Amino acid sequence: MKDLMGMMKAAGEMKGKMEAMQAELADLVVEGRSGGGMVVVSLSGKGDLKGLKIDPSLFKEDDVDVLEDLIIAAHADAKAKSEAEMQRKMSEVTAGLPIPPGMKFPF
């Protein structure tokens, strides 16, 4: 019974930490780059697109396919950084709790 009470207390503390972490993630902006910085995509910590910068030299008719590929690559880079930051923050919040492997947060 004592363990159950301890787990309930830890879960309550984790809830507060999760809410704080989600607020931090809402303010977080990560940048993904491709083409040596010629394309830069900015995403929020939740993965929402916040900005897109494209070097003007890429606006040539014959470079459209390259530009499209660079945008996709920059987005993938930013998304990976956002997910890594979310996992890092999540591991701080859940440290010490017996959470089953593979369980995804937030619920």
- Structural domain boundaries, residue 70: 27-91
Instruction: Write down the pLDDT at residue 103.
Output: 58
Task: Give the pairing of strands 49-54 and 29-34.
Answer: unpaired
Q: Establish if 103 belongs to a structural domain.
A: no
Q: Hunting for tokens 């070097």 — which residue is that? A: 55
Q: Establish if 102 belongs to a structural domain.
A: no
Q: Which tokens hold the place of 41?
A: 């995509």
Instruction: Write down the pLDDT at residue 76.
Output: 92
Q: What is the CATH number of the domain that holds 82?
A: 3.30.1310.10
Closest CA to 25 of 80, 77, 87: 87
Q: Hunting for tokens 């004592």 — which residue is that? A: 2
Asked if omega into 106 is within 30° of 0 (cis), the reply is: yes
Measured CA to CA, the distance from residue 85 to residue 98 in angstroms comes to 21
Q: Hunting for tokens 């993965």 — which residue is that? A: 47
pLDDT digits (tens, 9 = 90+) for 11-20: 787 788 888 8
How many separate domains does the chain show?
Answer: 1
pLDDT digits (tens, 9 = 90+) for 45-101: 878 889 999 998 888 777 788 888 999 999 999 989 988 888 888 888 777 666 665
DSSP summary character for residue 100: P
Q: Establish if 101 belongs to a structural domain.
A: no
Q: Establish if 6 belongs to a structural domain.
A: no
